[in-house]
Amino acid sequence: MRFLLNLSLILTIASCNITSNKAEENFSILSDLEGNYYDLNDYKGNVLILNIWATWCKPCIAEFESLEKVKEKFKDKNIKIVAVSNEDLKLINSFLDKRKFDLEFIKLNGDLSYFNAYSLPTTVVFDKNGNESFRLTGGVDFNTNNFIEKIYEIEKL
């Protein structure tokens, strides 16, 4: 009987820790570059172009110029562009201090698999309801008629 009580107590404690850690992980999985909580759900009602990158990834950095250009074309639409990296916050900020990109940057406090991303760069496009519309892997020129028209079509829905 004592064994069952101890086992029950151990399982209760373990489940509390798992639940607590999971809730904490979900709450802090994304942050702005100051380390504050960040929620992509705030973009519902907008098409979201989420660009997953790293400071060491040359194709990722090369994409920023075309993302900046296409951002200008989308400025009067319900279309937002966010770049996310899971690298150390100090490294991201140091990298961005040396370069002046006109994009919104956030930090993923976890593995890239959170977005089902297994190569860099990866860009995930979400519709206005927060559902994934499509994704692109590898270096992309976002400032093409094909990409822009596809985004406009999603934005109209």
Tens-digit pLDDT profile for residues 78-97: 999 999 999 999 999 999 99
65 within some domain = yes
9 within some domain = no
Distance of CA 148 to the CA centre of its chain: 20
149 within some domain = yes
pTM score: 0.82
Nearest partner of 135 among 110, 154, 108, judged by Cα: 154
17 within some domain = no
pLDDT recorded at residue 88:
97
Q: At 75, which amino acid appears?
A: K
82 within some domain = yes
Per-residue pLDDT at 138 exceeds 90: yes
Do 62 and 139 touch, CB atoms closer than 8 A? Answer: yes
21 within some domain = no
Range of the domain at 122: 32-156
- Which strands, in side-by-side order, build the sheet including 122-126? 30-31, 104-108, 79-85, 47-52, 122-126, 132-137
Domain count, the chain: 1
Do 41 and 126 touch, CB atoms closer than 8 A? Answer: no
For residue 150, the domain's CATH number is 3.40.30.10
Nearest partner of 95 among 59, 137, 53, 124, judged by Cα: 53
Read off the pLDDT of residues 100-136 as tens digits, 9 standing for 90 and up: 899 999 999 999 999 999 999 999 999 999 999 999 9
140 within some domain = yes
4 within some domain = no
pLDDT recorded at residue 12:
32
> What gap in Å lies between CA 59 and CA 53, rounded to an integer?
9
